[in-house]
């Protein structure tokens, strides 16, 4: 049984970590017969070198010379730290089709990235709410890069052919990404509020509570508008205090405030930067939606979705979602 040590990086070792644990294979600087035997083997390899390949130390010698820790009977290993036993035994294909593993891994990795995205996004929103923009910018940049990851992941799923999907389709039953609670939390945090999207989580009070909280909390855009007001820009009262469960509605007064920022960036530099970071995120989200609907059309054509919607017809409607409307309309007015 492995014991877990507290703190420290499992991928590298501090100087004090280099003490050989009891029972560990001796390190290179140990005076044991095994270590000197290794040195002898390595130096004879060098002296008998006829070609660079022949002179190269063996892989085994390199590992030992580098003092890599090899015994984890008492220390936390990479797999222990990452919970790989759980992670790598959480793929349970239901069909006999080997392509189902791709489908599961693609969804699971997307959920992992969404977990990180959500954590960064909500932390950025909290920073904006307390007027601390530099860390928010760093987090929002990471959110955009995570979206890049999610967007490029569609290339892997696009290798799934219609017959491959059809072979496992009956085994999916009614399960669909439509029921992803993390995706709804992200959408709500970005301001796409829709009360109907709470219903799929009613059977799980724990998840429903999470999604409901995201639903009732001001979005990152709501908090950004409140920040603009604190910076002295004039914003309509309706944008600053409202029922946060309602979808955001574009307002001429909000566009006027953003226009001031974009016309005088030197005066409102960080607000200007915030506007562009939010635009980056909406831009990336649109690309994700587009790659999703295109992949879906490629794989299932115009068949209905497992979640019960019309499929591509539903996803195309979602392409029209606008999260931060004035950040787009201001560009025409500039």
Residue of 122, 307, 325, 328 interacting with ligand HEM (CB under 6 A)? 307
Residue of 124, 299, 327, 330 interacting with ligand HEM (CB under 6 A)? 299
* DSSP state at residue 245: T
306 interacts with ligand HEM by CB under 6 A: yes
x/- map, 92-121, ligand HEM, by CB under 6 A: --------------xx--x-----------
Q: Which is nearer to ligand HEM, 221 or 262 (CB)?
A: 221
x/- map, 163-202, ligand HEM, by CB under 6 A: --x----------xxx-x--x-------------------
244 interacts with ligand HEM by CB under 6 A: no
3-state SS class at 188: helix
Q: Which is nearer to ligand HEM, 262 or 324 (CB)?
A: 324
127's tokens? 């920073």
- Counting beta carbons within 10 angstroms of the beta carbon of residue 137, is it exposed (0 to 12), middle (13 to 18) or buried (19 or more)? middle
CB of 86 to ligand HEM, least distance (A): 20
Provide DSSP, 80-100: HHHTHHHHTT-----SS-TTH
22's tokens? 């009891």
Q: Provide the b/e sequence for 278-313 (b: ≥16 CB within 10 Å).
A: bbbbbebbbbbbebbbebbebbbeebebbeeeebbe
Q: Which of 156, 204, 158 is nearest to 184 (CA)?
A: 204
Residue of 260, 273, 294, 309 interacting with ligand HEM (CB under 6 A)? 309
Interface residues toward ligand HEM, by CB under 6 A: 106-107, 110, 157, 160, 165, 176-178, 180, 183, 292, 295-296, 299-300, 305-309, 311, 314-315, 318
């Amino acid at each position: 049984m492995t014991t877990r040590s507290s703190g420290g990086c499992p991928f590298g070792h501090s100087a004090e970590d280099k003490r050989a644990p009891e029972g560990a294979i001796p390190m290179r600087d140990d005076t044991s017969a095994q270590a000197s035997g290794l040195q002898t083997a390595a130096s004879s390899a060098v002296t008998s070198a006829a070609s660079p390949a022949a002179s190269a130390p063996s892989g085994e010698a390199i590992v030992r010379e580098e003092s890599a820790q090899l015994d984890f009977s008492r220390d936390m290993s990479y797999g222990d730290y990452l919970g790989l036993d759980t992670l790598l035994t959480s793929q349970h294909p239901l069909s006999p089709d080997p392509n189902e593993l791709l489908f599961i891994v693609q969804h699971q990795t997307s959920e992992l990235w969404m977990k990180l995205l959500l954590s960064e996004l909500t932390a950025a929103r909290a920073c904006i709410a307390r007027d601390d923009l530099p860390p928010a910018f760093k987090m929002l940049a990471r959110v955009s890069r995570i979206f890049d990851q999610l967007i490029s992941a569609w290339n892997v799923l696009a290798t799934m052919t219609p017959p491959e999907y059809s072979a496992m389709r009956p085994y999916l039953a009614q399960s669909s990404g439509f029921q992803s609670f993390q995706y709804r939390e992200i959408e709500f945090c970005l301001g796409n509020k829709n009360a109907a999207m709470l219903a799929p989580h009613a059977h799980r009070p724990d998840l429903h509570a999470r999604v409901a909280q995201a639903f009732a909390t001001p979005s990152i855009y709501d908090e950004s508008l409140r920040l603009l007001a604190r910076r002295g820009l004039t914003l309509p009262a309706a944008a600053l205090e409202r029922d946060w469960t309602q979808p955001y509605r574009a307002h001429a007064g909000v566009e006027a405030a953003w226009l001031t920022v974009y016309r005088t960036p030197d005066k409102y530099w960080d607000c200007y930067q915030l506007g562009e970071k939010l635009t980056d995120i909406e831009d990336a989200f649109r690309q994700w939606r587009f790659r999703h609907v295109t992949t879906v059309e490629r794989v299932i054509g115009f068949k209905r979705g497992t979640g019960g919607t019309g499929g591509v017809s539903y996803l195309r409607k979602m392409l029209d979602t606008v999260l931060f409307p004035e950040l787009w309309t201001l560009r025409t007015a500039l």
